[in-house]
Every structure is written in C-alpha cells, then in structure tokens.
Amino acid sequence: MIIGICGKSGSGKTTLAKKLEEIYQTKTIHVEIDKIGHQAIEEKDVREKLVSVFGTNILTNGRVDRKKLRILVYSDEEKMALLTKYTWEYMRRKIEEIIQEEKENLILLDWILLQKTEFFKECDLTFLLDVPYEERKRRVLKRDGLTEEEFALRDSAAPTYNEEDFTIVLKGTEENEIRKVVKKV
C-alpha cells in the first residue's frame, strides 16, 4: 500500500508519517522526497548543470548551498522550473527504486509537490494537511531557523491544492487531529 502525504511547509507531513510508522513499525517505509532532492543536487552531473545555469555563487566549499539556491528559485518561477528539470530525473528514479524494492511494505510518500507527480496516482490513500499560515510559520521558524521573510518566500512558492483530489483532508493544528486520522487508517 502507498500513502501519499501532502501539505505546505510546516503542515505536519512528517509528524503524520511518524505516527503511521509507530503503528505499523518495521513494515513501514517513510520516503521524505525532499531529502531525495537534497541528494540529487549533490550528484556530480546535477551539480554541474546547476552551476552552469545559476553560477558558482550557489556553491560553498564546492557543494551546492541549499540556502543560496533556495533564495534564487523561490522568487523566480523560471529558475524553479530549471531546478526541477535538473533534479527530477534523479528523484523520479530513486522513488521508483524504493517503491519497487519495498512494495511488500507500507510506503509513505511525504512531499509538498507529490500531487504534481505521477506517483500521486499510484497512492492508495492520500492525505492533505491544511494548516493555517500562522501555525505553519510558527512551526517552521522554530524548526528550520528561518526568518519570517524567508518563510514567506518559501510559502509563496508552494503549490495550491484541490482538496477534492485527496482521500482525507485534515484541517487542524493539533496532534489530536492527526491521531484521529491515524485511527481511521
């Protein structure tokens, strides 16, 4: 079974995934697709393409500096499209490998952009975590150490969702709401 978990930054995607992991324990594979994206930018061929497009100013000590890259792409849709173009093939391959290798387990796909990929259609169950802006901002500032301006920039680059496309839409900020949803699963 594949469960897709979507929501904007700070909505509780990873919290929900961890609750599901607690219930199903060793039979659960939590795929944090953002982390696959972080791996992608460190791949030599991807890094070289990114440097050719964005310049060496995105590097710190020879590695792609995600903060510098984030500032460039969150404010420019064309640059975001280029980043996606160069990282998606690596990410898609990794996700496919995980799904193939772990098909006997419960697979949790956790990603803000999941709905925009072919993997969303492969999900047996999909969650949308719809948490108010101020609550998400509070969580992200605490978790990631961003400024309010950095969070606003990140949030402005986030997708909008069609709630009708999801099996379950969670509109709550409390952990009790997540527990209710987990019980349904």
pLDDT score, position 180: 64
For 143-168, give the DSSP string. HH---HHHHHHHHHTSPP--GGG-SE
Contact 95, 31 (CB under 8 A): yes
Where residue 160 falls (left for φ over 0; alpha for ψ -120 to 50; beta otherwise) is beta
Please give the chain's pLDDT, 185 residues, in tens: 999 999 999 999 998 999 888 888 778 999 999 999 999 999 999 999 999 999 999 999 999 999 999 989 988 989 999 999 999 999 999 999 999 999 999 999 999 999 999 999 999 999 999 999 999 999 999 999 899 999 999 999 999 999 999 999 988 755 666 666 666 66
pLDDT of the residue at 182: 62
pLDDT at site 23: 84
Contact 126, 166 (CB under 8 A): yes
Distance, in Å, from the CA atom of 93 to the CA atom of 169, rounded to the nearest integer, reads 28
Report the CATH number that the domain containing residue 111 is assigned in CATH. Answer: 3.40.50.300
Can you give the pLDDT at residue 19? Answer: 87
Q: Enter the DSSP assignment of 107.
A: E
Distance CA 136, CA 150 (A): 13
Structural domain of 32 = 2-184
Collapsing DSSP states into helix, strand and coil, what is residue 19?
A: helix
State the pLDDT at residue 25: 78
Q: What is the pTM of this model?
A: 0.89
How many structural domains is the chain composed of? Answer: 1
Tell me what pLDDT residue 75 has.
85
CA distance 133 to 62: 35
